[in-house]
A = this chain, B = another copy of it.
Amino acid sequence: MRGEIIAIGTELIIGGITETNSLFLSTELTRAGIEVGFKTIIGDIEGDIESTLKRAIERSPLIITTGGLGLTADDLTRKVVSRLTKRRLVLREDLLEKITRKFESTGREMPKGYSRQALIPSQAFAIENPLGTAPGFIIEHNGSLLISLPGVPSEMEMMYKETVKDFIVKKLEGRGIILIRCIKTFGLPEMSINEAIKDLFKLRDAYIGLLAKPTGVDIRIILRGKKEEEVSSLVGEIEEKARGAIGDYIYGVDDETMESVVGLLLKKMGLTLSVAESCTGGLIGHRLTNVPGSSEYIESVLVTYGNRAKTEVLGVPLETIRDYGSVSAQTASSMAERVREVNRTDLGLAVTGIAGPGGGTPTKPVGLVYTALADGKDTLCRFHHFSGTREEVKLNSSQMALDMLRRYLLAGH
């Protein structure tokens, strides 16, 4: 079944604001087995809403609109839908009561305009809004299902999850399912992955695409099938083949991040970590501490940005920096060893490099980055030359350092 999404709101179209509702909805609809054909973003202009909705009803059996259900004269969705589907707007007493009660529970009286939100097209199915005041509604018209939700992302998402999702699942019962899997890799260029897994692209009923990001290349798989088990087993096979082809360049799937994978390994192995950062400026610490519960294994992260901090706070020998420079294998290794000792953790991880745009030299160009890992016995060190903006080099470097740690932990040291 094909679906389409219409996001309504002038603020979405004049630039500067990312429209996120259609992103959420297209992921959800794809998961539910609906092929999203069109996403259209339009302003609060009556003619544009009407022409877009009209065309959508002609061509798509499922349409979801977001926005235009608010209180002001700009909020036109109700009006246009009722005219297009030839239904009167009726004041639903049950909805009005709920809105009134919402205000009462916060001790405020309902301002006058709010009763307008209890107006929905006749014979529509009302969708409750647990977070806000504007209800949504579902209408069947000329064989199409038209679902209108408010534009506030948190309200829209909750209403989708609590009401719309079930509604759609029931409508689609027996029509087959879709499964999305994202396999995340780091360390191989897109072309090499493309070559390594090229046989997978030939599979029927599967969409496989590569997406290159500063944190690595994602392999995105979308599978269609009749039954849950059938599709899961096929996705398992594909994943196994991908692992056979590119092995431990794969660091996680779906919602896993490099920092969550590393965190899980540290926790399992009962190891503690401290980090010394230079060019990444705190990004590794920020990423590691985004994982809930990370205080169990992270003791401290020392961002020794200046050379004095490297020598005085960390205790990197002055001679090391003088003889080899602050961006060198020797300094990176010493930072990893010293941060481990200062914090008395099992492992010490370090990064030093040149994020740019300034600070590069012919022998040490912008993008040159050293990462090091010390465990008290050995110190590993790697280097890489990244290209891109300052922020991309920082992101790349943080990913490289965390991946070095991941590979070390996987090897079971």
CB interface residues, A 261-303, toward B, < 8 Å: 274-275, 277, 279-290, 292-295, 298-303
Do the beta carbons of A23 and B15 come within 8 Å of each other?
yes
The answer to whether A282 touches B292, judged by C-beta atoms less than 8 angstroms apart, is no
Chain B CB within 10 Å — which of A31, A43, A295 has the most?
A295
- Whether B306 and A300, one on each chain, are in contact in the complex, defined by CB atoms closer than 8 angstroms, is yes
Per-residue 0/1 for A301-338: is the Cβ within 8 Å of any B Cβ (1 yes, 0 no)? 11111101100110000000000000000000000000
A313: contacting residue among B31, B279, B280, B300, CB under 8 A:
B300
A180 to B14, CA, bound (A): 10
The answer, yes or no, to whether A26 is at the interface (CB within 8 Å) is yes
Tell me if A22 is interfacial: C-beta within 8 Å of chain B. Answer: yes
A11 touches B285 (CB 8 A): no
The smallest beta-carbon distance between A381 and chain B, in angstroms, is 22
Asked if A304 meets B308 with Cβ closer than 8 Å, knowing A283-B282, A292-B358, A358-B292, the reply is: no
Proximity string of chain A (366-389) to chain B, C-beta cutoff 8 Å, 1 when within and 0 when not:
000000000000000000000000
Contact B303 A285 (CB under 8 A): yes
CB distance from A253 to the nearest CB of B (A): 13
A281/B290 in contact, CB under 8 A: yes
* Closest chain B residue, CB of each to CB of A45: B37
Interface 1/0s, chain A 34-69, versus B by CB < 8 A?
Answer: 001111111101001000100100000000000000
Beta-carbon contact of B40 and A38 below 8 Å = yes
Q: Mark A349-360, 1 if CB is under 8 A from B, else 0.
A: 000000111110
Q: Is the CB of B38 within 8 A of A41?
A: yes
Q: In the bound complex, how far is the Cα of B282 from the Cα of A274, in angstroms?
A: 12
| A295 (CB) vs chain B CBs: closest residue | B305
A109 nearest CB across to chain B (Å): 15
Q: Are A22 and B36 in contact (CB under 8 A)?
A: no
Tell me whether B305 and A289 are in contact (CB under 8 A).
Answer: yes
Does A281 contact B292, Cβ atoms closer than 8 Å? no
